[in-house]
Structure 1
Amino acid sequence: MSNIIGRAPRLVALVFTLLALTFGGALAQTPVPPGPNALTGPNITNEQLLFQQLQGDVHGRVSIPDQRSATLIQPEGQEWREFRNGTLKTVSAASLIGIVAALLIFYATRGKIRIDAGPSRQRVQRFNGVERFAHWITAISFMVLALTGLNLVFGRTLLIPLLGPEAFTTLSGYGKLAHNYLSFPFVLGIALMLLIWVRHNIPDKTDIAWVKAAGGLFSKGRHPAAKKFNAGQKLIFWMVVAGGAVVAASGYVLLFPFYLTDVGGMQLAQLVHAALSVLLIVGIIGHIYIGSVGMEGAFDAMGSGQVDVNWAREHHSLWLEEEMRKGKVAQVKPVGFRAPAE
């Protein structure tokens, strides 16, 4: 018995040696699992290889009821981030710069579109108070939504160097609140416009002639006939109503996360929201140009609600004739009026 006790340390040492030789070689041959940091070496990989080997989400365990918070890694999120910060950002910047450059070139070559016959002494009611309210509640809320949305995409690049991180953080915080809450009057505005103007914005054969003549934008003295809204205005109307509805719907998916979809659906909603918003902004920039500095007398329609009769005769002749038949304007030709060439 004493001999066994005396030999115990040697036996223990022998067992540990055998274990080390047996499992040490196996451990040496076991590949090192991929890690997120990209270095070099046979057993070290980069982040992309890690995502490829995961082939799906990586989940942990949580004690709260919402099990979606257990998602630790979602490889598709990397693709979404690269598209948002790469392709989407580049295309958006190119589109915005492109429309502004195109309008500057158009203004430099065509100039302001004047009333060919000159302003008259007669005015005709074009839009009443309810119509102007629907327009301006939509327009004002959209402008704030557009600016605060663009801040999310380009603010870090453009504003932080100008304002500093602290001021940018404060501005973005208030901008986020404005973006969230002004979405509701925006939706109210497009709903009102749909109810008020949908019957005037159904495409018809007069729009074909208007499109062929490019609305008379590139030719002086030639204005195609149009009803209350011409083809260009109808395009803006449907862009705002239909596009605005999709933008609003996708925005509410983001505003109330995980109520209707999972994180993959939210990523898709964000891309749809951003892409359509840029298209709307580009279209509205053109609309603002024509309705302000681009065309004489156009702003009065949504300003006072009354427009010059000569302006109406040149740009919305069919609508003016209808208003005359209703007795809303005297059926006389103002001094200096020249009928458009056939």
Structure 2
Amino acid sequence: MKLTSLRSLFVSLVLPLVVLMGIGLSTSALAGDDQTSQQIENATTSEADLWRAVKAGDPGYTVAKGLEANVLINVAGNEGKNIKIEYINPAMGMVVLGVFGAFLIFYLVNGPSKLSKGFSGKMVLRWSKADLIIHWVLAISCLALIFTGITIMLGRYFLQPYVGEGVWSALIYGSKTIHDYVSPLFIISWLLSVVKWMPLQTLKMYDLKWFLVVGGYINFGPFKGKHPDSGFANAGEKMWFWTLAIFGLFISISGIMLVLPVLDLPREASMAALLIHGISATIIIGFTIVHIWMATVLSEGGMECMTSGYCDENWAVQHHNLWYDEIKENGTLEYKD
């Protein structure tokens, strides 16, 4: 066969085959590129969906075991943290500064509530030794919890920027330790005070008048010299007692939930306890500041009651006249020797 004929045969048979193979390979390559692009797109979509699910708190699978181990991000926990930072922390700061500042201004303008007839020199028994012990254990533990709690909640804003890291670490650790170990004393003394003093805290119709004349503490205007009727506890003391009784219960239960890891609570329950604890603490702090102001500098002779258990007779007549009349009539009036 001639060489020319062989070349013609090669061109007519092999060349079309090569062209077809090339077209096939190109098509396959294009298809592969499309498949790779689709895989990349699918992978990107899948990853985005995964993170959306994680951020939404959807459960998955983790090697760790235990309560909520398969949930990487707890939505309720994050929302609760935001509520605490945005609302409860500022509210606590405003209560501390606002209530204290308001009573300071009131004291500077109004002055203390003086005894109209001065001190008589006769001291009347008002509180037993057991009452004094309960009161001071409750007062000291409550103040310790308030100061350490404020440090834990707000210290990062008004203390941490101005002290060294070592000082701040020691301070926050000490505050947390004191807070945890003082809490049982508060709970026990709170429970004893509620049980022992509740019968003296029933609300009466004359308590309304006490509020209308601001308890007789105003030294100017139409309220000057107004001394409303009051039993053993006046309306302000009753309000403080019931506030402590109710929110002391909330703060005790929520505190126990927060410090006992054996309870193994869901994150939602722990965050709810933290928020209730913060709200209750804010309310108790506000009323504690009021109580301290009213019992010390705003009431002449008032502090003596809780140091010795006795009050001046003129103080009893002016601030708790119905109680004084009652113990005088039933023969339980007892003077200090």
* Structure 2 counterpart of 1:27: 39
**Code of the aligned partner of 1:253:** M
Residues 1:88 and 2:88 aligned together: yes
Q: Which residue of 1 aligns with 2:136?
A: 136
Residue of 17, 31, 47 corresponding to 2:29: 17
Equivalent in the alignment of 1:334: none
Larger radius of gyration: 2
Cα distance in 2 for residues equivalent to 1:308 and 1:33: 80
Write the mapping of 1:228-307 to structure 2, written as runs, cut at 5 A: 228-257=232-261, 259=263, 261-307=265-311
1:58–1:74 contact (8 Å) kept in structure 2: no
Q: Which residue of 2 aligns with 1:71?
A: 71
Amino acid paired to 1:172: I
The amino acid across from 1:315 in the alignment is H
Contact 2:230–2:320, Cα closer than 8 Å, also in 1: yes
SS of the aligned residue for 2:44 comes to coil
Find the partner of 2:333 among 320, 328, 337: 328
The 5 A counterparts of 1:115-264 are 115-218=115-218, 219-257=223-261, 259=263, 261-264=265-268
Aligned mates of 1:130, 1:188 — CA distance in 2: 14
Q: Tell me the distance in 2 between the aligned counterparts of 1:104 and 1:50.
A: 53
Distance 2:289 2:114 in 1: 20
d(CA) in 1 for partners of 2:269, 2:92: 22
Post-superposition Cα deviations, 1:29-73, rounded to whole Å, max 9, x if no partner, equal 4373598xxxxxxxx89xxx9558853334432354x24333211
Point out the structure with the larger helix share.
Answer: 2
Q: Partner of 2:263: helix, strand, or coil?
A: coil
1:257 and 1:266 in contact (8 A); partners too = no
Match of 2:10 in 1: none
What SS does the aligned partner of 1:69 have? coil
TM-score, with structure 1 as normaliser: 0.82
User: Which consecutive residues of structure 2, in runs of 5 or more, have no partner in the other structure?
Assistant: 1-17
Deviations 1:271-302 (A, max 9, x none): 11101101100011010011111211010111
Partner of 2:319: 315
SS at match of 1:30: helix
Counterparts of 1:206 and 1:287, CA distance in 2: 20
Mapped partners of 1:258, 1:72: distance in 2: 22
Q: Which letter does structure 2 place at the counterpart of 1:227?
A: G
- 2:4 corresponds in structure 1 to none
Q: Answer yes or no: is the 8 Å Cα contact 2:57–2:72 preserved in 1.
A: no
8 Å CA contact retained: 1:59, 1:73: no
RMSD: 2.8
Kept in 2, the 8 Å contact 1:253–1:260? The answer is no
* Stretch of structure 1 that moved more, 95-104 or 67-76: 67-76
For 1:60 and 1:110, the matched residues in 2 are separated by 66
Whether the 8 Å CA contact 2:117–2:314 is kept in 1: the answer is: yes
Taking structure 2 as the reference length, what is the TM-score of the superposition?
Answer: 0.84
Tell me whether 24-33 or 127-136 shows the greater mean CA deviation.
24-33
Inter-partner Cα distance in structure 2 for 1:288 and 1:51:
51
Whether contact under 8 Å (2:76, 2:271) holds in the other structure is no
CA shift, 1:320, in A, is 1.0
* 1:282–1:63 Cα change, 3 Å: closer
Q: Which amino acid aligns with 1:56?
A: G
How many residue pairs align between the two structures? Answer: 310
**Shift in CA distance, 203/60, structure 1 to aligned 2, threshold 3 Å:** same
Gaps of 5+ in 1: 1-6, 36-43, 331-342
What's the CA shift for 1:88?
1.7
**Equivalent-residue separation in structure 1 for 2:64 and 2:93 (angstroms):** 44
Structure 1 residue 21 displacement after superposition: 2.1
Moved over 4 A (4+): 13-16, 49-54
Could you tell me how far 1:258 is from its partner in structure 2?
6.9
Percent identity of the aligned residues?
27
Corresponding residue for residue 97 of structure 1 = 97
